[in-house]
Amino acid sequence: PKNPVLRRVQELAQLSKQLQRVHPNVLAKALKRGILYQNEEIVVINKPYGLPVHGGPGVQNCISNVLSILAKMLDGMKAEPLHLCHRLDKETTGVMVLARDEDTAHRLQSLFKVCQVEKCYWAISVGLPVPSEGLVDIPIVEKKVQSHQSHYKMTLAPNYRVSPEDGKMVKVRQNRDADSAVTRYRVLASSASCSLLELKPITGVKHQLRVHLAYGLGCPILGDHKYAHWSKLAPQKLPENTLKRLGLEQAKVRHLPLHLHASRLTLPAGASGGQQLQLDCRPPHFFTNSLQRLKLEIPDVPKKKAHPLVTVSAC
């Protein structure tokens, strides 16, 4: 396409498809190039956009399928396969921790499960949350959407609702299938009907950040077409000034990728070595390009360095 935005979007889509089709050795080499940090216990990678962590219907390549190949590239032919410690959605980019052995994996998985690992994400949202900083504490449950194209989505299961009779808050019966979900958020920059947010999930429910932003704050993540509408699967509707700055027509919005990036993980002392480990990763090119077009100022991220509080970043 002659339009530079459409060209970049098409390149991103092609890259995602290529990662699905390449030989596992090629994919492992790509992940190796994206290593942010490694020691005798863990390997930390910069997860690419569009690459699933686990296999499934229609998935030809995924991270879990090449962990043994990546381990051999790093430590020789006798190396034990690397182990997953947590997961990221297919469309989410950023910091991802792998363990070199099963004991380390179990220890880190337990820390993630009991919320001892501090996670920080960047997201571009459509709209400005009010207030600009706060905490969303609303349980989440999976429900079937009844429409011409039935599908499942995560949604809110609040413990309170507004009474239509007198407008007062009343407690409702708790949904037994709902999971507790808590997210801290902070606006870092705002412009042109969009905002750059820092998100810190306290819990780890499926699609938690996407649901809390879209349904809890009314500010869905840019490119999140799944949660753009409740009753249908359709491309996200963007304001005119946002479309203008991105150089897009509404008819082409369906190509826009999800702008959600795992920017930082902080492992507590003793999780891997004796010191606290902080891992930072700058967002991918399409994310920073959108920030520039929307005139959202990019916060500073430390350059790669090592000290008692180990901080690692990637551009």
24-33 vs 67-75: helix crossing angle, rounded to 10: 60
Our answer to whether residue 89 is catalytic in this structure is: yes
Q: What is the pLDDT of residues 133-158, one digit of tens each?
A: 999 999 999 999 887 778 899 999 99
Q: Where in the chain is the domain with CATH 3.30.2350.10?
A: 118-300
Architecture of domain 118-300: 2-Layer Sandwich (3.30)
- Is the pLDDT at 88 greater than 90? The verdict is yes
Distance, CA of 237 to CA of 71 (rounded, Å): 43
| pLDDT at residue 60, as a whole number | 77
Mean pLDDT of the 294-306 span: 65
Average pLDDT over the chain reads 88
Selected catalytic residue, list 75, 89, 137, 179: 89
pLDDT at 297 over 90: no
The answer to whether residues 313 and 280 touch, using CB atoms and an 8 Å cutoff, is yes
pLDDT at 300: 67
Peptide bond into 131 cis (omega under 30): yes
Query: Mean of the pLDDT values across residues 301-310?
Result: 40
Judge whether 83 and 67 are in contact, CB under 8 Å: yes
Identify the band that residue 311 occupies on the pLDDT scale cut at 50, 70 and 90: very low
pLDDT class for 265, splitting at 50, 70, 90?
very high
The pLDDT confidence band at residue 304, using thresholds 50, 70 and 90, is very low
Can you give the pTM of this predicted structure?
0.88
Residues of each domain in the chain carrying CATH 3.30.70? 1-114
Residue 307: predicted pLDDT:
34
CA–CA separation, 12 vs 5, rounded Å? 11
More confident residue, 212 or 2: 212
**Which CATH number is correct for 1-114, 3.40.50, 3.10.20, 3.10.50, 3.30.70?**
3.30.70
Summarised one tens digit per residue, pLDDT across range 95-123 is 999 999 999 999 999 999 998 999 999 99
The yes-or-no verdict on residue 308 having pLDDT over 70 is: no
Inter-CA distances, 302 with 34, 124, 254, 268, 312, Å:
17, 21, 34, 19, 8
pLDDT band (50, 70, 90) for residue 299: low
Q: Which whole number is the average pLDDT over 246-266?
A: 93
Distance CA 203, CA 17 (A): 31
Residue 13 pLDDT greater than 90, yes or no: no
Residues 6+ apart with CB under 8 A from 235: 225, 228, 250, 253, 254, 256
| Average pLDDT score over residue span 159-175 | 84
Whether the per-residue pLDDT at 61 is higher than 50: the answer is yes
pLDDT number for residue 67: 96
